[in-house]
Each structure stands twice: as C-alpha cells, then as structure tokens.
A = this chain, B = another copy of it.
Amino acid sequence: MEKIVSLQNGRVKTWKKLATKKGREQQQSYLLDGWHLVKEAIGAGTTLVSVMGTHEAWREYRDELPANLNAFEISDEVAKAIGDTVTPQGIFAEVKMPETSTTLPEVVHQPWVFLDAVQDPGNIGTIVRTADAAGFEGVVFGRGTADQFSPKVVRAMQGSQFHIKLVSEDLFSATRYFKRSGIEVYGTQLNPEAKNYRELKPKGAFGLIMGNEGNGMTPALGDVTTANLYIPILGQAESLNVAIAAGVLMFRLKEQ
C-alpha cells in the first residue's frame, strides 16, 4: 500500500481541494470522514475512488473493508490536513458524487422536504438525516441552499444521502410538478394567521417547504402552495431553529 506522509504530496492537495465546491465539481467527487460514513458508502454500493487510513485505522478496519481498494496509508498529519474534524478517526474515502439530478421521480410515493435557501450546513445535514429517520422519500435542494456535499453537510447527514433521494431543482418547478401529480405542497410561515400544523392530517405523499434561517420561505412560494403552515410558539422565543421546525413537522405530518 502506498504511504503518504507529506502535506506537499499531490494526492493530499487533491483531497484537501474536496473541501471546496470548486474542487468537488472539478473532480466530481467528495470526501467521507470517519468509519460510520465509509461503512455506509460501502453498504450502499457507492464507488470508492480511494480509501485513506492511518496506520492505526488500517489495523482496526482492514478486515471490514472490501478487497481491491485503491488504498493509501496516511500519516496523522495528513489525516488532520484533509479531515474536517478536530480529532479525525483516521479513516477517509473519496467517493463519486451522484450525477446532479434535477429529476423528481415519476411517481412520488412518500413525503419530500423542499429546502428554500437554507444556509447553515449543520441545519441542512440534520434535516436530511431527520427526513431519512421520518420515512421521507427525498429532499429537494432549491436555489440558494448550501451545497449537498460540503464537509459540514456531509458530517451532519451521517450517511442519509445513501438512503434517500437528494435532488437539486427550482422549488416553483418542484411545487408545480407535485401539484400536477395531485400531491399537496405545504409551505411554512412564522405567521399566526397561517394554518396550525396540528389541524392537518395528510394522507400519503406531500411536499413540505422549509425556508431560510433569517428570512423564512420566499413569499411568492407561499402563493403557489396548497396551504401554509405555522407552528404556534407557546413561550417567549421568537422562532424555532429551522431544523427543529422541520423535525416537529415531519414527525407530525407523516402518516404512521
């Protein structure tokens, strides 16, 4: 196995570039940091461009990895340089990005979340993970929403990108598409005159739009939705974190 100890090594420079959107687009790949994510990628049959581990990591995980890997042993210093976390586990994989999909499924079976200019990578990743846990079918990344494969989004998704569909698409188009298929789309508004989410009992699939952290949902989207929902604030907080609001709504609205 090739050993890489220098930060000046060309491969290290390439891996480091995967932390940027430009680098990911050039190489059409992104980085997984940590054993949980590498294991999820293998389980999902994702193409591993390469697997990088420290001496200790190889000793720990070699038996659980498939043969015929494009494998590298890296120094702790290299692991720190390419990893996103302060204390990396020492095991990484470079994996192919799925081709950017703007195609919603022909038949929508389960609910979807639509992200309208959601900015914080932690919020985005947590919403994807929660959508997976709540039995949703996928997440639409609308314009202005942060990149699907940035290190912080990938960390917060915890592998859920291998379980549910991620689609990049304009949310006006996605909303029209759902409604033409007879599927309702709900917006969300911090507006006590919107519909109380507890009064809704959807059957089967629907779309649920979550808005930007500071500005909420694009107002014009609210004109094309089936209804706009509101979570009543019972205390003195001004609002809910968008990932919390998404979690409350997903677990409430999904038919069980």
Chain B nearest Cβ from A255, distance in angstroms: 10
Contacts of A131 in B (CB 8 A): 235
Contacts of A234 in B (CB 8 A): 133-135, 254, 256
Say yes or no: is A126 at the interface (Cβ < 8 Å to chain B): yes
CA distance A232 to B256 in the complex (A): 10
CA distance A251 to B230 in the complex (A): 13
Chain B nearest Cβ from A219, distance in angstroms: 23
User: Chain B residue with minimal CB distance to A196?
Assistant: B256
* Given A248-B247, A248-B248, also A158-B238 (CB < 8 A): yes
Tell me whether chain A's interface is mostly helix, strand or loop, or mixed. loop
User: Chain B residue with minimal CB distance to A129?
Assistant: B237
Which of B135, B159, B163, B244 sits near A126, CB closer than 8 Å? B244
Chain B nearest Cβ from A155, distance in angstroms: 12
* Given A240-B133, A247-B247, also A235-B164 (CB < 8 A): yes
Say yes or no: is A215 at the interface (Cβ < 8 Å to chain B): no
CA distance A122 to B155 in the complex (A): 15
Give the contacts of A215-256 with B (CB-CB under 8 A). 231-241, 243-245, 247-248, 251-252, 254, 256
Contact yes or no, B236 A132, CB < 8 A: yes
User: Chain B residue with minimal CB distance to A250?
Assistant: B248
Say yes or no: is A168 at the interface (Cβ < 8 Å to chain B): no
User: Chain B residue with minimal CB distance to A239?
Assistant: B133
Say yes or no: is A148 at the interface (Cβ < 8 Å to chain B): no
* Given A244-B243, A248-B247, A252-B252, also A235-B134 (CB < 8 A): yes
Contacts of A248 in B (CB 8 A): 247-248, 251-252
* Given A126-B241, A241-B130, A256-B198, also A135-B235 (CB < 8 A): yes
A-B contact pairs, 26 of them (CB 8 A): A126-B241, A129-B237, A129-B240, A129-B241, A130-B241, A130-B244, A132-B236, A133-B235, A133-B240, A135-B234, A158-B237, A158-B238, A160-B235, A160-B236, A160-B237, A163-B235, A163-B236, A164-B235, A231-B251, A234-B256, A240-B247, A241-B243, A244-B244, A247-B248, A248-B248, A252-B252
